[in-house]
Structure 1
Amino acid sequence: MHFSTFFSAFVLVATGTTGVWAANFSTETIATAAALNPGNYYGAPIPPWNAGHTPGWYYGSGNAPIGIFSILDSVFCGLLDILPFFHCPKASHNPHPYTKAFSNLNCGCEDGSYQTYGLVEVVEDCQSMCESISGCIFYNTYHDVYTKGYPQFTCTLYKKVLTAGSANYCGGQRQPDGSINHIINSEGYYKTTPTA
């Protein structure tokens, strides 16, 4: 059975404090939510170092970028909470400690343990995203700079710990407006296992 016919556009969404409320979602919104799964790299099947890439989601308190379909606001997150694959970060979630692997590089990480990427307003939001994706133990943030680029940080998540030696994506891609991108302010963090 096709996913969009399985769910009605009118859905009951469970919330943590107010019980259950009804929300009206379009078939497109439900399909977008369903695309946030591991098989589709949580909406970003093409990693940022390959041509044709697009961020899979936006998480933050600023203005959502134009052209990003998976905006992780409270209503959309309520829909995601009833689906099995992807859940928005929770404010009350106590994250693991993270250790900085590198900072201030002009290249982003490129690795086969790639899970997904999206856009965040601050580096800490990328850590929250890593906490919410099963198997994520490393995140890389940077600014992807080009004429009409996103002002937010690119947030890329990985399943293994990386080092500055993995920072091989330095930009150089021609953008639709004709400009060539470059990377600045690249930082990498790995999940630290607490010692007893």
Structure 2
Amino acid sequence: MRFSTFSAFVLVATGVSAANFSTETIATAAALNPGNYYGAPTPPWNAGHTPGWYYGNGNAPLGIFSILDSVFCGLLEFLPFFHCPKAPHSSPPYTRAFYNLDCGCEDGSYLTYGLVEVVEDCQAMCDSISGCIFYNTYHDVYAKGYQQYTCTLYKKVLTVSSAKYCGGQHQPDGSINHIANSEGYYKTSPTA
């Protein structure tokens, strides 16, 4: 990723010293924009996907560059597209559309996906992304019991008929993943 002219302008205009952040960190933050699905241009149901971000209080999985901690979130406040959720957050009421499925959602209204620790973290992410009105959480289970708690965000309300991604992707260790405990939630109006 390249350090963009826009990123440099934002840092100069806001008085933030580039010395406070590495060029790679600034480029990673600038990549969290709608044009590349907030760092996750390949949705989780396609081969070669990578989560765009991690949000939670646990330890971020290896290989995730956009860890939404206080330092990185401080940098994101100076960029126009993506801001970390505020805690505590007040959000519109959500309604559960489905739960306990063995498949996650797959839909063209995909906005982004990342990893979280609890369902409330995914709700907070949906509240922070413009246009998000539906989120789907599930455990992506790999060999030897390793699993990631995936949070996928969408710009339209989905139903159980959208739960088409059941895993089945071959992993580098030869195993095949599967999906467990998929839940979907929607709100009545998008976050502005």
- TM-score when normalising by structure 2: 0.89
CA RMSD, Structure 1 to Structure 2 (Å): 2.1
Q: Deviations 1:115-170 (Å, cap 9, x if unpaired)?
A: 00000000000000000000000000000001278644100000000000100000
Distance 1:99 1:114 in 2: 19
**Is the CA contact (8 Å cut-off) linking 2:103 and 2:165 kept in structure 1?**
yes
Distance 1:88 1:6 in 2: 20
Distance apart, 1:93 and its partner CA: 2.8
Question: What number of residue pairs does the alignment pair up?
Answer: 185
In the other structure, the counterpart of 1:69 is 65
Deviates more, 1:101-110 or 1:175-184: 175-184
Q: Deviations 1:61-107 (Å, cap 9, x if unpaired)?
A: 00111100000000100100000000000014311110000000000
Q: 1:60 aligns with which of 56, 69, 73?
A: 56
Distance 2:185 2:5 in 1: 41
In the other structure, the counterpart of 1:89 is 85
- After TM superposition, the runs of 4+ consecutive aligned structure 1 residues lying more than 3 A away are 2-8, 20-23, 148-152
Q: 2:104 aligns with which of 105, 108, 113?
A: 108
For structure 2, list consecutive stretches of 5 or more residues without a partner in the other structure: none
Deviates more, 1:43-52 or 1:139-148: 139-148
In the other structure, the counterpart of 1:26 is 22
Identical residues among aligned pairs (%)? 82
**Code of the aligned partner of 2:113:** Y
Deviates more, 1:100-109 or 1:23-32: 23-32
In the other structure, the counterpart of 2:143 is 147
Q: 2:155 aligns with which of 145, 159, 171?
A: 159
In the other structure, the counterpart of 2:45 is 49
The structure whose residues are more often helix, as a share, is: 2
**Is the CA contact (8 Å cut-off) linking 1:96 and 1:191 kept in structure 2?**
yes
Distance 1:114 1:174 in 2: 23
For structure 1, list consecutive stretches of 5 or more residues without a partner in the other structure: 15-19
**Code of the aligned partner of 2:167:** G
Distance apart, 1:4 and its partner CA: 3.7
Distance apart, 1:53 and its partner CA: 0.1
Q: 1:6 to 1:127 in 2, by over 3 A?
A: closer
In the other structure, the counterpart of 2:173 is 177
Q: Deviations 1:28-78 (Å, cap 9, x if unpaired)?
A: 001100110000000000000000000000000001111000000001001
**Code of the aligned partner of 1:25:** F
Distance 1:36 1:160 in 2: 21
